[in-house]
Amino acid sequence: TVYTVGGEDRTFIKWIDTHNVYGGGNLLCTVDSTAQVTVTKGMTPKNLLKTAAWQNSYYDNNNPHFYVFGGSLGAQTVANNTKVRVGMDTMYDEDNTAETTDVMAKGTHFFADEDEATADAGGDKQDINLYNNGYGLADYTVLGVLGGGFMGKVTYDTNVRVGGATFIHRVYGGGYGDPNRATAEVVTDLGKVGRSTKVLADGAFIYGDIFGGGARGDVTKSTYVELQRDVKVYGSVYGGGDVANVGSTKEDSVQIDTVATTLIAGGTVFHNIFAGGSKGKIQGSSFVNIVDSVYKGKTNVPYVYGDVYGGGEKHHIAGNSNVLIEGGQLGGDIFGGGLGTVPDTGDADV
């Protein structure tokens, strides 16, 4: 869309979607301090959950629907910092028993269609309750949570916390960025975070993935992801971004102050853990630590059903990758490096 501002024509990129919540502004707004969003109730009417429109948005990773953004919408918007809090009360009470039953299924990992699948826990075969991927809960469903904006930039830091019984598709510490960004090699400032991100998940049912970085928006300095207490992640956990980088893309050298950190101190992860990103690089080092923790006198033992990687999934770590296992129950293998075909250039340490 072309707007005339101060006698000059300027083009603004705007995605038309009325089902998102933004802490920042629309097209030209600047938030000089902190843009904050707090969500304590789901965003989806109950009748919507049975419609084809819901099914389409439920599986759509390319266009945000029913997302919560700490930052802003338009490409010309800026927020200095953001703070996002998403958490609903527990759904395991008498008032919600019937509604909960409709969306639960027996299965292993997040393959809820396999009703008869079992999980191997401690040598014994047992069924585990998992969410059916075709539904959600009206009072608890938020499809996506991002610390950054859609295309708007965050000057400094983002801070995201998800908890309770919230039903979420994906969580990002960074911004969404350019929907047309096919690879992380494409240079763009859309959805960028100017310094660092922090994601804490100490509850919630996340049937997709958690990223410390952005969806398609880069993070200039560092990322931090922490899992605690009762959170369940039916996808994977990434210290970096999806189609997005961590660290300055203007430099080829290793940046010693850029680190993607992942701390698993509780909860359950049914797929893999990557200290790096999915399809984006880390222009510094990466670190993943799995350790038992104590909360209100109760020991939290993290469970990881998949593999643990010190590197990324499909892109590289420019610096060193590090894996430290101090606790937890692990069902897969441990790798100091990454999974993909792009070689890491530093050292790997387990």
Instruction: Quickly list DSSP for 223-278.
Output: EEEEE-TT-EESS-EESS-SS--BS-TT--S--TT-EEEEEE-SSEESS-EESS-S
Residue-wise pLDDT for 174-224, tens only, equals 999 998 898 988 999 999 999 999 999 998 899 899 999 999 999 999 999
At 60 the pLDDT is 74
Residue-wise pLDDT for 13-58, tens only, equals 444 456 899 999 988 889 999 999 999 888 877 777 777 777 777 7
Kindly state the tokens that stand for 84. 């996002």
At 103 the pLDDT is 37
Q: What span, in angstroms and rounded, lies between the C-alpha atoms of 88 and 185? A: 38
Tell which residue, 88, 89, 140, 132, has the closest CA to residue 110.
132
pLDDT confidence tier of residue 89, bands split at 50, 70 and 90: low
Could you tell me which residue, 343 or 236, shows the higher pLDDT? 236
Tell which residue, 179, 265, 275, 182, has the closest CA to residue 222.
275
Point out the least confidently predicted range of 116-125, 152-161, 294-303: 116-125
Q: Where are the beta strands (DSSP E) in 265-311?
A: 268-269, 273-274, 285-290, 293-295, 298-300, 303-304, 308-309
Beta bridge partners of 105: 130
Q: What span, in angstroms and rounded, lies between the C-alpha atoms of 110 and 114? A: 9
Residue 277 near residue 315, CB atoms below 8 Å: yes
Tell which residue, 275, 337, 264, has the closest CA to residue 304.
264
